[in-house]
Amino acid sequence: MDSALLASPAKIASTLREVALRYPEQYIAHQLRDIPRIAFNLDLVQKLVQKNAPVIADVGGGWGLFSPGAAALGWRTTLIDDFRGAGIQGRDTDPRLTPHRELGVTIRFEDVTAGLSLPASQFDAVTCFETLEHLHGGVRRVFQTILDSIRPGGWFVLSGPNCVNIRKRMTVPLGYGKWSPLRLWYAEDSFGGHVREPDVEDLRYIATDLGLKQVKVFGRNWTGTDRPGIRQLMPLADPLLRLRPSLCSNIYMTGSKA
């Protein structure tokens, strides 16, 4: 496919800004701050799939910008999530899902770890951004179901926070390496925080286990960029950290189905 037919980075960013403004007022600022990450993810998927209107599924995307942003670009988009961490009870009533409904995203409430029910060979790509670390069990089964739902030649895109990024390597010896506050794990009936964050070798293992082809593992640095000090430092640090994905805050794996 001619790359000129793909949405330009500027087009993706402007589309996401329009979608962000559809959210309830108290959530708009958060969505606007997340545009660089979501724009990167959308551009990544379109360059892999190389179609004008790909059919995709986003697993665990919650009420974020990716699914409605994809729909606004003309993609046929399905969002699958149990929304427990967000406290969303109804796809037809919660205002945080208004952009999804307005833009035609198919929303499916499913407990991912209880077993997905996806049609075989349906999607050009299935994405799972920053979700792996929240899954409490049955991950291999979930990923196999995802693979079965991808068309031959289609793509699985997986990302997560790097458990051994450079910040953690520096802060853990100083005693600042805790994950979630104790009360979220200890006192809440349903814990939706991080269970196990991956590293680069974990992503490569998953790709091999699933039999993916054309596998790439790489890093980006999104986590913490909303903090003023990190936001100012990152333009200088990010290009250097990308040379060593194992040091990046966020790691990605892409692979195609044989």
Scan for tokens 């994950």, then name that residue: 179
Q: Is the pLDDT of residue 94 over 80?
A: yes
Is pLDDT at 154 greater than 90 in this prediction? yes
- Alpha helix stretches (DSSP H) within the chain: 9-20, 25-33, 35-49, 66-72, 98-103, 139-149, 166-171, 182-186, 200-210, 228-242
Question: CB-based contacts of 8: which residues, under 8 Å, 6+ apart?
Answer: none
- State the pLDDT at residue 184: 75
CATH of the domain at 71: 3.40.50.150
Q: Return the pLDDT at 130.
A: 92
Question: Which is more confident, 125 or 180?
Answer: 125
Average per-residue pLDDT in the chain?
Answer: 89
pLDDT tens digit sequence for 108-153: 988 877 778 888 999 999 999 999 888 877 899 999 999 999 999 9
Range of the structural domain that residue 233 is part of:
3-256
Q: What is the pTM of this model?
A: 0.91
**Among 1-5, 15-19, 174-178, 221-225, which stretch is predicted with the lowest mean pLDDT?**
1-5
pLDDT level of residue 41 (50, 70, 90 thresholds): very high
Number of domains in the chain: 1
The kind and range of the H/E element at 156 are strand 150-161
Mean pLDDT is lowest, of 64-78, 185-199, 224-238, for: 224-238
Query: Could you tell me if 54 and 46 are in contact, meaning their C-beta atoms sit under 8 angstroms apart?
Result: yes
C-alpha to C-alpha distance for 156 and 27, rounded to whole angstroms = 29
Cβ of 136: how many Cβ atoms within 10 Å?
A: 13
Q: Is the pLDDT of residue 229 over 60?
A: no
Q: Are 161 and 189 a contacting pair, CB within 8 Å?
A: no
